[in-house]
Structure 1
Amino acid sequence: MDVKTVHLAVYETLADWEYGHAVAHINNPRFQRRPGAYRVRTVAGTAAPITTLGGLRVTPDLTVDDLDPADSAMLIMPGAGEWQRGNAVFARAARSFLSAGVPVAAICGATYALAREGLLNDRDHTSNALSSLTKTRAYTGTDRYRDEPAVRDRGLVTAGATGSLEFAREIFAELELYTPEALDAWYGFQRTGDPKLYFRMAKASAA
């Protein structure tokens, strides 16, 4: 089976909780529609290790200069304090991915970078708050803003800082990681802890 790569952008002050659900379950073949179809690799601005907000040290698998949309199934861009200082290299990478028809998923501060790049103007999207996006001149997408935890539209997934679970759900839907029935059960189980939903997920994946 051809294993596709999902690239996770990493940088200083990376927000550990925002990508956790997504990465853990992409790398866990259990209940997946095509078990083991994806792997996650980290990509950074340089080859130097980065330190997350939680104090974890991450050595990137590759640098953004070596990142090619043709070799990727998706680019995931979590939030971080770095976004307040620009981190424009990943915003440009997101443009190249979307132009090539390869999905991009951005949460929290990473959505600001997409707004500065003009990438939210013609797709439904969300963020931490609409007011945070309107501070950039390139952003003209107020009519496409949705006040929801996460939004998916034509290959772009966006979420606010408190929507990491919904962020993962929309990523999984975009990748078709689970069947629709298994995905609904996964999300319900993660939100409520109802064991019946866990077994429903297992049954849906077996079918």
Structure 2
Amino acid sequence: MSETTRSVVHLAVYDTLADWETGFATAHLNKPLWHKTPGRFAVSTVGPSAAPITTMGGLRITPDVVLADLKPADSAMLILPGNDIFATEAFVPFAEKAREFLDAGVPVAAICGATGGLAMAGLLDDRAHTSNAAAFLDSLGYKGGALYRDEPAVTDGDLITASATAPVEFAREILARLDVMEPQVLASWYKLYGKKDPAGFYELMSA
């Protein structure tokens, strides 16, 4: 499959990015094994500028794309990892880009602190969602409490949200929303990585 026909998933990168929260999603988007259409997806990083960022784990990442240049039409999904900047001005451009994506009907997936940034932007007021805890979002003064779901990860249309402790469930929702794998293959994938059942591995090997 040529580069021009790939669906690009954009991973937001910024200082204090929580390294562990998106690894399952990005690894299995890039790994063609078990995909319905191998080679269909590619992951690209998008940052606030072209300058390198430093993750919470101390890794330096140079963004592939600058946020201001990213258009929803050029993306299959925007993934927003957790971070320590969600309540600051530094995260506002990412929340506004998420609004642009959702308005255009392009999916957005947010986990941990990124859900807080979306809550502060009003993007969780009318969509079912989850986060690290209901009290966490309530402390931010948002208006979507009635739609909070006490679950590891929640998909409502084009929005996926998840708790910091649910990177596997977050990945499962992303893979399902993008139709990366056949449903039974994804079920086996989750059996292995989510339920830690080795039977899932043998199911995947025979898929």
Taking structure 2 as the reference length, the TM-score comes to 0.94
Say which SS state the counterpart of residue 24 (structure 2) adopts.
helix
Q: Show the counterpart of 1:157.
A: 160
1:69 aligns with 2:86: no
Q: What secondary structure, in the 3-state scheme, does the structure 2 residue paired with 1:146 have?
A: coil
Cross-structure match for 2:200: 197
Q: Is the 8 A contact 2:130 2:148 kept in 1?
A: yes
Residue 122 (structure 1) aligns with: 126
Q: Secondary structure at the match of 2:8?
A: strand
Length-normalised TM-score, structure 1: 0.94
1:54-133 aligned at under 5 Å gives the runs: 54-86=57-89, 87-133=91-137
Shift of 1:131: 1.5
How big is the shift at 1:135? 2.8
Q: How many aligned residue pairs are there?
A: 203
Quote how far apart the aligned CAs of 1:195 are: 2.9
- On the 8 A contact 1:23/1:40 being kept in 2, the answer is yes
The 8 Å contact of residues 86 and 117 in structure 2, kept in 1 or not, is answered as yes
Equivalent AA in structure 2 for residue 103 of structure 1: P
Is the 2:109–2:174 contact (alpha carbons within 8 Å) kept by the matching residues of 1?
Answer: yes
Residue in 2 aligned with 1:168?
171
Matching residue's letter, 1:54: G
Distance 2:198 2:138 in 1: 42
**C-alpha deviations, 1:59-117, integer Å up to 9, x for none?**
00011111100000000000011213241000000000000000000000000111111
Shift of 1:121: 1.3
SS of residue in 2 equivalent to 1:97: helix
CA RMSD of aligned residues (A): 1.2
Question: Residues 151-183 of structure 1, C-alpha deviation per residue, up to 9 Å, x if partnerless?
Answer: 011011000110111000000000011111001
Partner residue of 1:140 out of 140, 143, 148: 143
Aligned-partner Cα distance in 2 for 1:193–1:94:
33
Once residues 122 and 94 of structure 2 are traced to their aligned partners in structure 1, the CA distance between those partners, rounded to angstroms, is 13
**How far apart in 2 are the matches of 1:201 and 1:81?**
36
User: Which structure has more helix as a fraction of its residues?
Assistant: 1
CA contact (8 A) 2:155 2:161 kept: yes
Work out the CA distance in 2 between the residues paired with 1:41 and 1:95: 19
Aligned 8 A contact 1:18 1:161 in 2: yes
